[in-house]
């Protein structure tokens, strides 16, 4: 047998065990081992049944993602799974852990399935822009029926064992050693004289209404899967499971799978998948650097951000002490945290006892001295440099030696904050995104004097609290907010030129952004960004049109959702946005006063101006060394700013459009729009002229 697959005999039952740490991926070595094992067992009369088991933390976790780039080497998935399904004796899969994609496709090629409680089973390929390509679209509808199979594959969400048992994906659920239970099941099958039960030989339950069912699903795709093709391809493959014999359906699935793997959508999702795995590679960080221990956390500020950050740590089982200057703030903050947890309980995602356990981990106080034993302290007050300096001076006095002091600032100079302490090596930016207990992204800002082990600790903390941690250097706005500035600038300029807020946001949402930028401003509070710009007025362009719509709204007191109107009106409890004719008229009047020609930019122009301005700023960030990699920028935008994942992030998207195309458009805008805003980044110009890409630039730098 192979090194990763071995076979043992137990009273007529052959136990085929995969042992390929860390998660038993269906690599070429594993497939070769399975092929060898099942071929060797096929002609042995003493083998009455087979159990397919795994060692380690999980059953087969899925396919080998690397093969999307390198190609699948023999033996292929279909060859191995058909060999398993063709076994002349029953094959029982012993399922546990996190069984996804190819792992589930292997399980349904087996004849029976026993699963341990707590196992998750899913076909998440749609979340990667592809479709199940190892028989999943053909076997799953035959096994559990058309509707449940569509639910599973279109959602990409894993099933619990209980749900899997209800639909027929799992035959038996156990709360003990699943391999032993599968062996016992195999003995029972042999004793009962039961043979193989091949999934491919079943009819599709619900298949008689397949045309109607799939047409209805196709009609629902527009909103959930805007601009995406893989869901339609998935439906085509499932239709084949009903219409075609199994082998023809498999051939059709293989053809479709190959198409979506090569398409931009699939490549974009894979780009983000692999880019996340590069985030911990930080230039200048020693390979042997160790993290500091973080067993207790302090939070300064009990507002929206402080409360959300506290929840992140409590969710991970880490005790939190929240400090605020006023008892009323603490009371309000704790009440909000409890309310958030109660919503989770009402949705069924949290048990009542878990709510109380997490609340018990959060201790409110007015006394900074209570932070003396904290390993990490995160300041989360509003954006005011003087206030943050005052707080850090206090923290420097009370925090123990070696404690890490983090600031949640989204724009301010953290080196300036660090300078008020005697421990600049322990200072780091930890920019959470609102709501902090929900949003995935954590921007980790490495200051000029931040110690390497502090950076590593921040990366480990991000992992502990289930965030995507991206390291940036210090500059205004770091990666995310700095790139938002030109993006928002162009959106607001389009409003002055005659586009309505709905025109601008509609264009950006049609592009795929989760929410248009003007609606984002309304949600966040229009005054927030305006006050930041007022504080930096001496650094901004002397241009009266620069972010003028936001300034107008702030002057009127129309601050967005919190006041019921901003770029839009918000009437009723649902805060649904509706156009505000008065605001639109105000913008037009101001444009006339400023002499801005009215031209109502097209949807395409709005998209190009906003997105290309963002990309150009991203190129500057790369040149300046603020972002380590172009792919880091993509992760920031896909994880924290609502950039469509199927486009791979702004820099990946730029590569798919072509940097020469973007450069030429920027030069066109330089002539037709305000030239001070349309200076191509030198890196973008250099790569465009060379016919290169951000991906090639990154690969050549080997970071």
Q: State the catalytic residues.
A: 105, 125
Q: Hey, how many other C-beta atoms are within 10 angstroms of the C-beta on 13?
A: 23
Reduced to 3 states, what is the DSSP secondary structure of residue 193? coil
Which tokens belong to 497?
């030129």
Which tokens belong to 18?
């995969």
Among 456, 443, 358, 464, smallest CA distance to 404 is for 456
Q: How far is CA 590 from the centre of its chain?
A: 40
- Reported as half-sphere exposure (CB side, CA atoms, 13 A), residue 543 has a value of 17
Task: Say if strands 441-446 and 427-432 run parallel, antiparallel, or are unpaired.
Answer: antiparallel
How far apart are the C-alpha atoms of 13 and 91, rounded to whole Å? 10
Backbone phi and psi for residue 626, each to the nearest 5 degrees, phi listed first: -70, -45
Q: Hey, how many other C-beta atoms are within 10 angstroms of the C-beta on 384?
A: 14
Instruction: Tell me whether residue 348 is exposed, middle or buried, using C-beta atoms within 10 angstroms of its C-beta: 0 to 12, 13 to 18, 19 or more.
Output: exposed
Q: Where are the beta strands (DSSP E) in 191-281?
A: none
Q: Hey, how many other C-beta atoms are within 10 angstroms of the C-beta on 392?
A: 24
Under DSSP, the state recorded for 156 is -
- Beta partners for residue 299, in sequence order: 322, 378
Reduced to 3 states, what is the DSSP secondary structure of residue 62? strand
Residue pair 632/279 in contact by the 8 Å Cβ criterion: yes
Under DSSP, the state recorded for 207 is G
Residue pair 300/379 in contact by the 8 Å Cβ criterion: yes
Residue pair 388/379 in contact by the 8 Å Cβ criterion: yes
Backbone phi and psi for residue 278, each to the nearest 5 degrees, phi listed first: -95, -10
The vertex-34 CA angle with 28 and 35, nearest 5°, equals: 90
Element (H, E) at 468: strand 468-473
């Amino acid at each position: 047998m192979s090194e990763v697959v071995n076979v043992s005999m137990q009273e007529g039952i052959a136990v085929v065990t995969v042992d390929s740490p860390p998660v038993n991926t269906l690599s070429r070595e594993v497939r070769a081992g399975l092929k060898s094992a099942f071929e060797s067992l096929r002609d042995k009369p003493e083998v009455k049944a087979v159990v397919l088991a795994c060692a380690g933390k999980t059953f087969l976790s899925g396919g080998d993602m690397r093969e999307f780039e390198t190609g699948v080497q023999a033996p292929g998935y279909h060859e191995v799974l058909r060999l398993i399904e063709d076994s002349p004796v029953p094959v029982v899969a012993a399922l546990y852990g996190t069984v996804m994609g190819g792992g589930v496709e292997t399980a349904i090629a087996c004849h029976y399935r026993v699963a341990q409680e707590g196992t998750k089973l899913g076909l998440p390929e749609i979340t990667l822009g592809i479709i199940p390509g190892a028989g999943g679209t053909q076997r799953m509808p035959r096994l559990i029926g058309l509707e449940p199979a569509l639910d599973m594959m279109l959602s990409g969400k894993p099933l619990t064992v209980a749900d899997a048992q209800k639909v027929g994906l799992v035959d038996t659920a156990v709360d003990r050693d699943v391999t032993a239970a599968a062996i016992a099941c195999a003995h029972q099958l042999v004793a009962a004289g039961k043979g193989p039960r091949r999934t491919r030989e079943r009819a599709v339950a619900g298949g008689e209404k397949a045309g109607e069912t799939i047409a209805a699903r196709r009609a629902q795709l527009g909103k959930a899967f805007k601009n995406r093709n893989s869901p339609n391809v998935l439906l085509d493959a499932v239709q084949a499971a009903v219409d075609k014999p199994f082998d023809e359906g498999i051939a059709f699935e293989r053809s479709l799978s190959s198409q979506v793997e090569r398409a931009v959508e699939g490549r974009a999702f894979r780009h983000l998948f692999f880019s996340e795995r590069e985030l911990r590679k930080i230039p200048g960080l020693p390979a042997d650097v160790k993290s500091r221990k973080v067993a207790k956390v302090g939070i300064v500020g009990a507002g929206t951000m402080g409360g959300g950050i506290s929840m992140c740590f409590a969710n991970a089982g880490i005790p939190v002490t929240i400090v605020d200057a006023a008892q009323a703030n603490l009371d309000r903050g704790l009440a909000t945290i409890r309310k958030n947890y109660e919503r989770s309980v009402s949705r069924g995602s949290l048990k009542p006892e878990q709510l109380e356990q997490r609340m018990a981990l959060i201790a409110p106080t007015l006394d900074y001295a209570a932070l003396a034993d904290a390993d990490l302290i995160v300041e989360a007050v509003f954006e005011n440099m003087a206030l943050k300096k005052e707080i850090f001076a206090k923290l420097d006095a009370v925090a123990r030696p070696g404690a890490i002091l983090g600031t949640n600032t989204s724009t301010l100079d953290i080196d300036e904050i660090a300078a008020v302490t005697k421990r600049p090596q322990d200072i780091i930016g930890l920019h959470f995104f609102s709501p902090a207990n929900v949003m995935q992204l954590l921007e980790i800002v490495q200051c000029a004097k931040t110690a390497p082990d502090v950076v590593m600790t921040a990366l480990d903390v991000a992992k502990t609290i289930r965030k995507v941690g991206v390291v940036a250097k210090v500059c205004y706005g770091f990666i995310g907010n700095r790139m938002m500035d030109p993006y928002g600038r162009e959106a607001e300029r389009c409003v002055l030129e005659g586009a309505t807020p709905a025109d601008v946001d509609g264009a950006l949402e049609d592009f795929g952004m989760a929410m248009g930028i003007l609606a984002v401003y309304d949600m966040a509070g229009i005054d927030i960004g305006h006050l930041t710009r007022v504080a930096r007025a001496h650094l901004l362009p002397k241009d009266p049109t620069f972010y003028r719509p936001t300034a107008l709204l702030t002057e009127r007191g129309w601050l967005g959702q919190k006041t019921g109107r901003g770029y839009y009106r918000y009437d009723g409890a649902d805060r649904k946005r509706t156009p505000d004719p008065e605001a639109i008229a105000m913008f037009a009047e101001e444009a006339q006063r400023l002499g801005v020609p009215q031209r109502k930019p097209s949807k395409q122009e709005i998209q190009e101006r906003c997105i290309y301005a963002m990309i150009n700023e991203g190129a500057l960030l790369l040149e300046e060394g603020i972002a380590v990699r172009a792919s880091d920028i993509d992760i920031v935008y896909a994880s924290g700013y609502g950039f469509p994942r199927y486009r791979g992030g702004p820099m990946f998207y730029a590569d798919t459009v072509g940097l020469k195309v973007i450069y030429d458009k920027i030069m066109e805008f330089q002539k037709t729009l305000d030239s001070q805003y349309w200076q191509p980044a030198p890196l973008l110009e250099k790569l465009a002229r060379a016919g290169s890409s951000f991906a090639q630039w990154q690969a050549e730098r080997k970071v």
